[in-house]
Structure 1
């Protein structure tokens, strides 16, 4: 466990960096720019979930494929999810982002319809399964529900499971987008039923390296145990909005070569 006084001494520095990088001007090259093209809550959360799912690898490729997803969903994600036909799913043919392919996308579309028609939507699922201090069990339950339809086993790898010790970087990022209340217009904060205080930091190569250099994280692997350790320390810095420090950690790693 990191030294408490050392962590508290980091607060002014990390608050400053969080404020610096939690700015709308940075989103043009970020995957979150794709859901920012939409206004309706359901459109934002559906395209947000899909773009977060493919948010690994080259940023330009992520954004290009995010634009393709918008086109496949006819720029009305919620309407397409609810009302698509089998022939509409042919629009998915040829889509590929690294290991996420057209077969995976077709299943995701069908599963999202199931989530909205049988489980009252994405927010409802995560809200129902949250616990007092964590959303990680809710991610596990969401994955269980999401894959209740017939599917290829390989598609399951595209939704992380903290109970299998995954850091769940992309789905934690998606949850940050949906839940965190952001006065600077980056995160959407459209899910009112879940407190930002229980969000987990999207742990990746950049944020993990900086967290270790600052003494916020001792565990060497980027896994679920590391996420829990980092969460504990970030919540000491700001119990109500701990994942604002994701901006600081990522910015220091990606933009400043800290």
Structure 2
């Protein structure tokens, strides 16, 4: 039986330890931190989150490549690119299975979205009865992706297919969480952070199981919701802060 009080105290301590500006230097979140324009931050954060699998240094190198292609002015590039710009990207290697074709697809979809919306936030607004982003992510997918199937669709996960949607959940944490630590941006003012979940991957999943936070063996959406139940009891107003604790424990291998 878990000693809930001690576990909460331990995770609060670790969340506090890892949620600080020093965290940025080694993490891909440093890329959107280079920008101040809301749209630039959103675009870079979404692209960086999308390619966030594998070694963090490798992700940062690939993100540098993306920024260079966009002339370090993401929103301006998205809204004013030429066909020649896209042709030059076509055969480029970006990051693992995210290739030039995928990047072009995302550029075009961003252009379509920003011609109708001032912010990606508008595509993630929760309805009154919703307690997490299960339906909101699917609504976003339906607006961001074309109806016609494309190879790039695999890079935008679907909770409706029981995916943990780790990359989108991480992106949402960056955009929604509001504190004064300097890591998360908190630039979206119309979505409450109490609805955020933990970005669930191999590392956070394994740590969560070792700590007895979850019992399911798969890292899927059902497990995201199982973890939600526990962390929201620990802090119902800011449950996603425990991502810092779980991720930090995994990276440092402090809890093995």
TM range (shorter): over 0.9
| Alpha-carbon shift at residue 213 of structure 1 (Å) | 1.1
Map 1:186-205 onto structure 2 (within 5 A): 186-205=183-202
For 1:133 and 1:39, how far apart are their aligned partners in 2? 30
Which of 76-85 and 90-99 deviates more? Answer: 90-99
Runs of 4+ off more than 6 Å: none
How many angstroms apart in 1 are the aligned matches of 2:129 and 2:246? 26
Report the alpha carbon displacement of residue 257 of structure 1 after superposing the two structures with TM: 3.6
Q: What displacement does 1:128 show?
A: 5.7
SS at match of 1:96: strand
1:72 aligns with 2:63: no
1:50 aligned residue? 47
Structure 1 match to 2:120: 122
Equivalent in 164, 170, 174 of residue 167 of structure 1: 164
Residues 34 and 51 of structure 1 are in contact (CA less than 8 Å); yes or no, is this contact kept in structure 2? yes
> Quick check: 1:131–1:137 contact (8 Å CA) kept in 2?
no
Within 1, Cα distance between the matches of 2:14 and 2:42? 27
- SS of equivalent to 2:137: helix
Structure 1: gaps (5+ residues) = none
Q: Which residue is equivalent to 2:12?
A: 15
State how 1:7-156 maps to structure 2 within 5 Å. 7-93=4-90, 94-127=92-125, 131-148=129-146, 153-156=150-153
* Secondary structure of the structure 2 residue equivalent to 1:39: coil
Separation of aligned partners in 2, 1:131 and 1:144? 20
* Range with greater deviation from structure 2 (172-181 or 113-122): 113-122
1:72·1:91 contact (CA, 8 Å) conserved in 2? no
Q: Count residues with an aligned counterpart.
A: 254
CA-based RMSD of the aligned residues comes to: 1.6
CA distance in 2, matches of 1:161, 1:8: 34
Q: Deviations over 1:179-229 (max 9, x none)?
A: 001211000000001000001100111111111111111110000000000
What is the CA–CA distance in structure 1 between the aligned matches of 2:170 and 2:35, rounded to whole Å? 18
1:39-90 Cα deviation digits (max 9, x unpaired): 1111001110001000101211100010111111111111111111111223
Structure 2 partner of 1:254: 251
TM-score by length of structure 1 reads 0.94
CA distance in 2, matches of 1:149, 1:223: 24
Q: Following TM superposition, by how much is the alpha carbon of 1:242 offset from its aligned partner in structure 2, in angstroms?
A: 0.2
TM superposition score normalised by structure 2: 0.94
* 3-state SS of 1:118 partner: coil
In the alignment, the residues of structure 1 paired with residue 129 and residue 30 of structure 2 have an alpha-carbon distance, to the nearest angstrom, of 30
SS in 2 for 1:74: coil
Kept in 1: contact 2:121–2:188 (CA 8 A): yes
Over 3 Å counting, the alpha-carbon distance change for 1:131 and 1:111 in structure 2 is farther
Contact 1:111/1:149, CA 8 A, preserved across alignment: no
